[in-house]
Structure 1
């Protein structure tokens, strides 16, 4: 089953609905998520406002991109060292 991307606004809305007393099982069925996903979101985003959630997700994406960039550069440096090491 393909996973669908859930927007920050929907995560915020689901968490707010849970605060009103709607059972977690019902929310899970309604939005097609697992209870584990709900609890992970609550631990991660609980008590945040929508703007804070969006900012956090943007920072996580930027961090992921930077990690990928560093890994690519490390591979390039290693390849250059291997090439230069063989010539001498």
Structure 2
């Protein structure tokens, strides 16, 4: 971990560069080298880049959750139908 700059500061610098501020200007303003900047960018990625991946992953998980809930509802319905067909109510009293 970089001791001189916090992760929050680094992400701020990366966001400034993404908004159009030249890298050389950022280097001069904040006192780091362009090699440091490009290393940070490789390590932390472009601002907003992770958001798209996380959003996609969240949608995939939500879709899977919906599918699993549907499967559970179907299984519970089948179980209820089997109980009604056999005359058992699942309480264990009719054994």
TM normalised by structure 1 equals 0.48
More helix by share: 1
Larger Rg: 2
Q: Which has the higher contact order (CA 8 A, sep 6+)?
A: 1
